[in-house]
Structure formats: structure tokens, C-alpha cells
Chains A and B, each alone.
Chain A
Amino acid sequence: QSVLTQPPSASGTPGQRVTISCSGSSSNIGSNTVNWYQQLPGTAPKLLIYSNNQRPSGVPDRFSGSKSGTSASLAISGLQSEDEADYYCATWDDSLNGWVFGGGTKLTVL
């Protein structure tokens, strides 16, 4: 059971906008910034969003992040087939004194 809760799956058609949620608590998302990682099949995770809504260099602006209270969201607009991957949220947990990840959401592009 992951500390951060994500839906196990999400889907959309090319061009659509999809969102993936990440729910936590006051000790993690409620008091720290959230990062998102994209893991393409058979590869290592890649940093997609940091500090709730910042994109590293090279990440398309189709990807955006937001946070409100103890929840965060990742939005992908103009969905493309190459976006099919697993997405993980992560943050620091003040109670556990460690980094915690969501269980991951498998995004399927129909």
C-alpha cells in the first residue's frame, strides 16, 4: 500500500487532455512539493515535473502539474502515442522522514 494514492490506470485518445491525480496527507503533499516521473516501458524513470509545476529543460509544455492542499495532479494535453507510460508522483514525508512514491498510473493511449 503506497503512502500516496494514484489511480492504477488512465486512458485517452490522441489529442485529448488527461489528468492523473495523486492524493496524500498533511505530512507529505500537504507540506512539501510534489514531483512527477514518467517511466516508458523497459526504461528508468525520468523526471517530468518538479516543485509541483516546474518542467525540466526538454519536457514539452503539454505536461503540467498542480497542487492543492493534500492532492496533486498531472495534466497531459494534446495526448500522443509516445506518452503511453507509467507515471509516478513523489514527495518527502515529514512523518516517515523519507521520500514516498505513489503506486503509479499506467496511461494508455487508445
Chain B
Amino acid sequence: QLQLQESGPGLVKPSETLSLTCTVSGGSISSSSYYWGWIRQPPGKGLEWIGSIYYSGSTYYNSSLKSRVTISVDTSKNQFSLKLSSVTAADTAVYYCARRAAAESDAFDIWGQGTMVTVSS
């Protein structure tokens, strides 16, 4: 079945750029039925949607993060990626990638296990 796996550095210095990749296995990222998204969860807090991308490359972002976020897709590798610039301690969180089944549930129906990213010098 479809699985998502996040990867990337677990520690990022303040003011630098956080970079994560989500690898999709067991299915194609190029399916027209799905969008792919990033969601984060600071320690002990709730969920926050960061942004989403379609296989064609069209993106939409959380307005509160838009100036610092870039999400891209590499269909040849079946991956999509997140870059968050100028990070601060407030960006410390578990970062999840997820699939949104736009034509079916219109919900994030499959999630990766999450990866913890700490912003610290």
C-alpha cells in the first residue's frame, strides 16, 4: 500500500534553511487524484498546515508562512520537498508529509511517520 517517508536533518541552526524530503512508495506521485502536503506539530501543541503541491507543480501555502516556504516536486524520484528559510526556535516541530485525496475524501488520508526537526545553535 502507499507509504510516505520523511527525511532530512534533525537539527538546523537559527537563520538557516530547513530542508525535508518526502518519498512516496507503493504508488505514483503523478496521480491526478491527489495533492501532497506538509503539516507540522510543535512539541506538545496542535497541527499546522504548511502547504501543498500537485504533481504538476502548482502550490498553495499557509499565508502565515508563505514568505519563507517553498514546496517542490520531483516526479522522476516520486518525491516532494519542503524548504523553510530563516528558521527560528518557533519552527522546532515534528514535520509530517501527507497525501490529500482531493477527489475522494478531500482529507489528508495517508501520513508519514513524521520527523523531528530542532532549531538550535
Contact = CB atoms under 8 A, between A and B. Distances in A.
Report whether chain A binds chain B: yes
Interface of A: 2, 33, 35, 37, 43-47, 50-51, 54, 56, 88, 90, 96-104
Interface of B: 37, 39, 46-49, 52, 60-63, 96, 105-109, 111-114
B113 A44 contact: yes
29 contacts: A35-B106, A35-B108, A37-B108, A44-B112, A44-B114, A45-B39, A45-B47, A45-B111, A47-B105, A47-B107, A47-B108, A47-B109, A50-B105, A50-B106, A50-B107, A51-B107, A56-B105, A88-B46, A90-B107, A96-B62, A96-B63, A98-B61, A98-B62, A99-B49, A99-B52, A101-B47, A101-B49, A102-B46, A104-B47
A75 to B, nearest CB: 18
A64 B114 CA distance: 27
B109 A56 contact: yes
Contact of A98 (B63, B111, B113): B63
Contacts of A100: 49
Nearest to A44: B111
Contacts of A98: 49, 60-63
A43 B61 CA distance: 25
Contact of B106 (A2, A43, A51, A103): A51
A102 B107 CA distance: 15
A7 B49 CA distance: 20
Contacts of B39: 45
Given A44-B113, A45-B96, A46-B111, A97 B60 contact: yes
Contacts of A88: 46-47
